[in-house]
Every structure is written in structure tokens, then in C-alpha cells.
Chains A and B, each alone.
Chain A
Amino acid sequence: MNCFTNLLKIISCAAVVLCALSISSQLYAQDMTADEIINTMTETMNPDQSQGRMKMTIMTTSGQERTFEYETFSKNQGEKSLMKYVKPTRVKDQAILMLNNADDIWVYFPRTKRVRKLATHAKKQKVEGSDFSYEDMGASNTFIDEYDAVRHNDEKKEGRQCYKIELTRKSESSASYSRIVMWVDKEYMVPLVIGYYHEDDPKLWEKQLVCSDIQLIDGIYTPMKFVMYNKLDNTHTSMEIIEVTYKVELPDNLFTEQGMQQ
């Protein structure tokens, strides 16, 4: 009997503690500033190291589908990243290395065995004709470094409670979008929807990224599917994570010319 009473006490205490933690967490979350939300989201979206395989499907203006598969590697919270195409054969072994949060980009062309360094302006270019630019793919800290964040009233998006954050490009920044509006899932702290606005016209809606199928991978909430809608060209590109792990130890020399060519 005593044992049962003690067990009840322990469960009751635990419930109280959990409840208190939950309330304090919600209170804390409600008090989070725009910068804190962006920082937490950026941390969630950019784990220390990751290795995965992704599938990118481009829906072209003519209604054709183009599918690419590539391996991805990233380190230092996304500060370094490497993409290696696996399919289709046309781009097999082509690799894109991005260092310093995509401020430095190199592309390796296996057919000519040539490595070409791209300047910052090339970040605006589409990756393999998709609706993702190099900047969309590579820069992990863009939201923090290049924009000023403002928090608006919370909204429901995709059926989930979200923080609504508006980012305005800093005057000294050369980022490709003048304004970004995003909805960050309150529970998972990952973006569910991101609206990108034109470089020169903050009212011109250029692209929209929708993230879905959030799964807990190695203790980190991960959207497994991304769809980028190009509002100007009326095209869209989807990306699916086929497999990913965050429990890896990637060598530094993977993120070099040597790594691109291996």
C-alpha cells in the first residue's frame, strides 16, 4: 500500500513538474523575440553536421518533370556544404561546394574535370534550372546576417500554430530578396511557409517555399519535403529528403576541391 502511495506521489510530482515546464515553455515561447525565433529556427534547420540524399523534381512551364538526385553533406551548422549529383546521367558527379555560408561557391564539371569558382552574383542563378537559387540552397545564416526581423501576430498556417516573422533586407546587404515573410511552427521551430519578395520591389511576391512532412530524425525536427513555387514563372520545384542522418563525423577535406572530385 505504501509503495502504491509513494508511486502516486512520484507520478503526481512529475506531472506537476511537466505541467510547469510546459507552461513556462509556452510562456517563454510567447515571449520570444523575432530574433530569438529566427536564431532558434536557424539552429534547428542547420544541425552541426549532416549527410543525406535528396531528390529534386522540377515542374517546368511546359508541364514536363525533371528529376535530379544528389547527395548532400554539411558541416559547421551549414557553413560548409557540398552537393554531388547522382542522377540523371547528364549531370552525374557534378558537384557544388559552398563555403562561408555560400559566399564562396565552386562548381565541379566532371566532363571537363574543371572546377570553376562563381562570384556572389551567381548565387541568383537557378540550380540546374530549378526554382531554387544557389542562395536558397546554401546560405544557412542568411536570415540572421542579411535581414532585420520583426514579429507579427501569430497565425495558423498549414493547420499548425505559427510565429509570423517578417524579414527586411539590411541596407548594406546584397541578399537576393528585399523582403521575406515566414511562418515558423511553434512546436517544431521549423519554417512551414516562406514567402520571398523581389530584389527591387518588396511588394512583388516572387517565390514561396512550403515545408511539410516534419519528422524527428536523430532528435532533430526535419521537414522531409520542400516545394518552391515560382510565382513569376508559374513553375515549381519539389525537394524530398530520401535519407538523412545528423550523427556523422565528416572530414574537413570533404569540403575541398579534393572532396568535390572524389
Chain B
Amino acid sequence: MKHLKLGSCPDLSFWIIIYRKIVDPAKRENLPLGTWFLELGICILVLGACSFSIAQVDIYGYFEPQFSGMYYDSAFYQVNYNKLRIDLKSTAVKNIEFGANVIYLLYFGKKDWDILDFLPEHIVSTIPSEMYPYYQLTFKDTLFLDNAYARVNIRRLALTVGKQQISMGTGYFSNPTDILNTKDALDPTYEQPGHNAIRLNLYIGNRMNLMGLYTPIASDWENSGKLVRAKIGISHFDFSVSGHEYQHTSTNFYTFQQTQERRMLIGADFVGELLGLGVWGEGIYNFIEDEDDDFYEFIVGTDYTFESGLYGMLEYHRNSLGKSDYTEYNLNDWMRFFTGETKTISQDQVYGFIQYPLTDLINIGGSIIVCVSDKSVAFVPTINYSLFENVDLMLMGNFYVGDEGKTFSSSLGNGGFFRTTVYF
């Protein structure tokens, strides 16, 4: 549903960024001083590195126009964007890497959307009419610093400071152990936004490493995020365990009031091979301070490549925060799903993915996402074509099969997008 609402564009991460940082600038202003200071400091470092040794700075990136369309309520709508990402990377100073990237997004087409148009009538009827304007969403052109970090490598130690991409977990469609990012199940491999953090990696031996991560999301140490993670390789398996203490913000979308709560997450993941199949899994148990609403989430998956080149993958995902009865979905469930506050609205999901190399330049395939809890299905066919050495084309559709009010309701409309990526 959220994907349709957002013009069938699968890169949810960007919508979340827009929602949090552009559409809701108040949140941006409320970011702690430390965060801004960190960004500024790293900017200076990166720009400094660039200026003293411009010849040793790699400048690269990509231009990505995307055309998205959807049929909804017997009408065709489109929301498109042109995205330019410019990356800088320098290793001019021995053992230190500076990296940064800037993203410029220009929208065109239908930029103003009303979320209420996509919610079931029985939910809209619970919202006071004077609150309707709060459910308007506008895609605004934006320029932002997505990443800016310095990474220091000293023997088996790596310290990364600044706004950086952080990826955790072994799941493909979703990563329960990764509370910093929310993957879009329609396009799960798309890049994630950067996060302000201080990260320390200690590599012990060839297949063991420890990670400590501090994310200054609050104004003080106590309420900021702290994560420790240990990873070890045994035989053909990699295992990791993690503990993450963080502050979670919940929004009441009836009143738009926000509440903070401390959470403690204990997680583990593995990836390896069993009987010739690739297998992986990851799970968490989340303790919520001062409340009895602890929840758990896990995902398990398997994959295989056939001799013909056909690749197949299957994942099962359970989120105990999701609901098993779709008639109980309420406004908060939907809106928290839209904004990434929660990863799924339903409790059980099955994901399938296949890909076949039709030629050496064309891959065809697609995903099927089944919400087992509410018995709705999304079909997501894809075609990838490598047009030139640095030009990729991608065509993706989304077709929903489900009754109104379900996660993938056919009444939400169907659509797709055409994306060109030109790397330079």
C-alpha cells in the first residue's frame, strides 16, 4: 500500500528521508547538536582533504531518472524524479579514507498526494476532518549530504566517524537486526541512507570481527544508540550476535504526538550452506523499557542457482509487532508502516525471488511477496538491461492481489517504474 501511495516507487528509503527531513522539517531542526556538529566536522575534513590534494580525490557517481506510474481509481498518475549523486573519495592520507556523497533530487509529475486516498474508508472515518491537511504529502526538490565520513585503518582496527551507510543482517528482503534502515521489499537492494555514527571495527583473525557503534540520535549519551556486534566464521558459516540499545520514537498519527521509549535489542544472524542450498537467518528479541510490549522478529531464507543460471530464493519473515487479522489494522499501523517506524503491518510474510539471465546483458525475474496474515499478494516482475558499460535500465512492475484493507489490496492500483542509471 505504501508503495502505491508513493507512486509505486520502491526506494522507500528516500521517501522516509523526505518524510523525516523535508516534509517534516521540525524533526530536522530537533536533531541533536552533536549530530550537526558531526556532519559539519566531517564536511570540513572531507573538503579539506579534497582541497589539499584534488588530484588524489576520486569523483564519481550516477545520474538516475526514474519514471513511475500507477493506475488508481480509473486514472493514471505519475511521479517522477531525476536524481544526481556525486561521490568523493580520497585516500590521499595513508591509512585514512575520506568519503562523501551528495544527492540532488528533482521531482516532477504529481508531487502532491493525499495519504487518506489510499486508506480504507473505515479508517479514514475515524480521523477528524480538521486533521486531514496533516495527511498531505508533497515531494519537494531536495539537495542533501547523504554520507560524509572519515575512516581510519590501523592494522586490524578500523574507526569510521561521520555520516555513513550501515548495513547489518543476512536477510534479503528485510533485516530484523538492522533498526537503522528499513528495506523496501519491492526493491530491497537499493542503497540505504547514511547515518551519523561513530563505528569501531576490530578484526580478530581472518573471520572474526567485533563492532561497536554509537549513533548520537538523542541529545545525550544515555538516550543515543549503542550497539555491539560480534561476528565469527566457522566452517562454511558466518555467525553473529548483537546487542543494541536505542531510543525509539513512536508517533500517534491521530494527534501527531511523538513519544520516546528505550529499547534493548538482542539479535543474532547466520549465513551458510546446507545440503547444497544457501541458508541464512536472523532474529531479534526487543525489550521495551517500562512496558510489557516486548516483541520479536525473525527471517529465514534459502537460495539456489541451477545449472541453467536460474537463481531462486525464498524467505519467511515473522514480525510479532504486525497483526494477524487485517481487520484490526488501524491508522497508526498504516502510518507507521508508511514512515518506517515499523517494518511490516502484517505478522507473517513469505518472499520469493527468481532471476534468469536471458542473455548476457538482460536479466529477467521478479519477486512475489505474500502477506500470509492477511492473504494478499504482490507480484513484482523486473527486467534489467545493461544498455552500455555504464548505463543500466530497469523496468519494474507491481501488481497487487488482495481485498480492500489488506497490505496489497488490488483496489490500491497497479503500476511500475522505469529507471535509467548512468554511472560516471
A126 adjacent to chain B (CB < 8 Å): yes
Interface 1/0s, chain B 174-208, versus A by CB < 8 A?
A: 00000000000000011110000000010100110
Interface 1/0s, chain B 135-167, versus A by CB < 8 A?
A: 000000000000000000101101000001111
Q: Is the CB of B209 within 8 A of A113?
A: no
Q: Is the CB of B60 within 8 A of A92?
A: yes
Q: Is the CB of A121 within 8 A of B359?
A: no
* CA distance in complex: A126, B388 (Å): 18
Query: Which of A22-30, A217-225, A250-258 makes up part of the contact surface?
Result: A250-258
B14 adjacent to chain A (CB < 8 Å): no
* CA distance in complex: A203, B167 (Å): 45
Q: Is the CB of B389 within 8 A of A88?
A: yes
Interface majority SS on B: helix, strand, loop or mixed?
A: strand
Q: Is the CB of B192 within 8 A of A112?
A: yes
Chain A residue numbers with a CB within 8 Å of B423 are 88-90
* CA distance in complex: A156, B398 (Å): 58
Interface size on B (CB < 8 Å)? Answer: 48
In-complex Cβ contact of A124 among B60, B305, B361 (8 A): B305
Q: Is the CB of B360 within 8 A of A61?
A: yes
Chain A residue numbers with a CB within 8 Å of B233 are 104
* CA distance in complex: A256, B158 (Å): 13
A31 adjacent to chain B (CB < 8 Å): no
Residue of B nearest to A93 (CB): B89
Q: Is the CB of A103 within 8 A of B236?
A: yes
Q: Is the CB of A117 within 8 A of B201?
A: no
Chain A residues numbered 88-122 whose CB sits less than 8 Å from any CB in chain B: 88-90, 92, 99, 103-104, 109, 111-114, 117-122
B114 adjacent to chain A (CB < 8 Å): no
Chain B residues numbered 197-250 whose CB sits less than 8 Å from any CB in chain A: 201, 203, 206-207, 209, 233, 236, 238
With A62-B361, A89-B423, A233-B360: A121-B167 Cβ-Cβ less than 8 Å: no
A60 adjacent to chain B (CB < 8 Å): yes
B34 adjacent to chain A (CB < 8 Å): no
In-complex Cβ contact of B424 among A89, A117, A126 (8 A): A89
* CA distance in complex: A92, B99 (Å): 14
With A125-B311, A258-B209: A90-B389 Cβ-Cβ less than 8 Å: yes
Q: Is the CB of A235 within 8 A of B360?
A: yes
Q: Is the CB of B153 within 8 A of A258?
A: yes
With A111-B191, A113-B167, A119-B272: A200-B389 Cβ-Cβ less than 8 Å: no
In-complex Cβ contact of B303 among A88, A119, A198 (8 A): A119
Chain B residue numbers with a CB within 8 Å of A88 are 389-390, 423
Chain A residue numbers with a CB within 8 Å of B309 are 124-126
A168 adjacent to chain B (CB < 8 Å): no
Interface centre among B156, B201, B273, B311 (most CB of A within 10 A): B273
Interface 1/0s, chain B 349-388, versus A by CB < 8 A?
A: 0000000010111000000000000000000000000101
* CA distance in complex: A169, B62 (Å): 45
Chain B residues numbered 325-362 whose CB sits less than 8 Å from any CB in chain A: 357, 359-361
Q: Is the CB of B361 within 8 A of A64?
A: yes
With A90-B390, A117-B238, A200-B307: A60-B278 Cβ-Cβ less than 8 Å: no
Nearest CB of chain A from residue B269's CB, rounded to whole Å: 11
In-complex Cβ contact of B206 among A118, A255, A262 (8 A): A255
Interface centre among A67, A174, A255, A258 (most CB of B within 10 A): A258
Residue of B nearest to A90 (CB): B423
Nearest CB of chain A from residue B385's CB, rounded to whole Å: 11
Chain A residue numbers with a CB within 8 Å of B390 are 88-90
Q: Is the CB of B60 within 8 A of A89?
A: yes
* CA distance in complex: A80, B62 (Å): 33
In-complex Cβ contact of A58 among B166, B190, B360 (8 A): B360
Nearest CB of chain A from residue B277's CB, rounded to whole Å: 7
Chain A residue numbers with a CB within 8 Å of B153 are 258, 262
A199 adjacent to chain B (CB < 8 Å): yes
B271 adjacent to chain A (CB < 8 Å): yes
Nearest CB of chain A from residue B236's CB, rounded to whole Å: 6
Chain B residue numbers with a CB within 8 Å of A118 are 278
B97 adjacent to chain A (CB < 8 Å): yes
Interface centre among A60, A233, A253 (most CB of B within 10 A): A253
With A89-B424, A200-B307: A121-B276 Cβ-Cβ less than 8 Å: yes
Residue of B nearest to A230 (CB): B360
Chain A residue numbers with a CB within 8 Å of B276 are 119-121, 174
Chain A residue numbers with a CB within 8 Å of B296 are none
Chain A residue numbers with a CB within 8 Å of B304 are 119, 121
Chain B residues numbered 373-414 whose CB sits less than 8 Å from any CB in chain A: 386, 388-390, 392
A9 adjacent to chain B (CB < 8 Å): no
* CA distance in complex: A120, B235 (Å): 13
- Which 8 residue pairs of A and B lie closest in terms of their CB atoms, listed nearest first? A119-B278, A113-B165, A89-B423, A114-B167, A119-B273, A90-B423, A121-B305, A258-B203
A sample of 7 inter-chain contacts (CB < 8 A) reads: A66-B389, A88-B390, A121-B276, A121-B304, A129-B360, A129-B386, A257-B209
Q: A117-B238, A121-B305 are in contact. List 9 more A-B contacts (CB 8 A).
A: A60-B360, A88-B389, A112-B167, A118-B278, A119-B273, A120-B236, A122-B305, A125-B309, A235-B360
Binding site for A on B (CB under 8 A): 60, 62, 97, 153, 155-156, 158, 164-167, 170, 189-192, 201, 203, 206-207, 209, 233, 236, 238, 271-273, 276-279, 303-305, 307, 309, 311, 357, 359-361, 386, 388-390, 392, 423-424
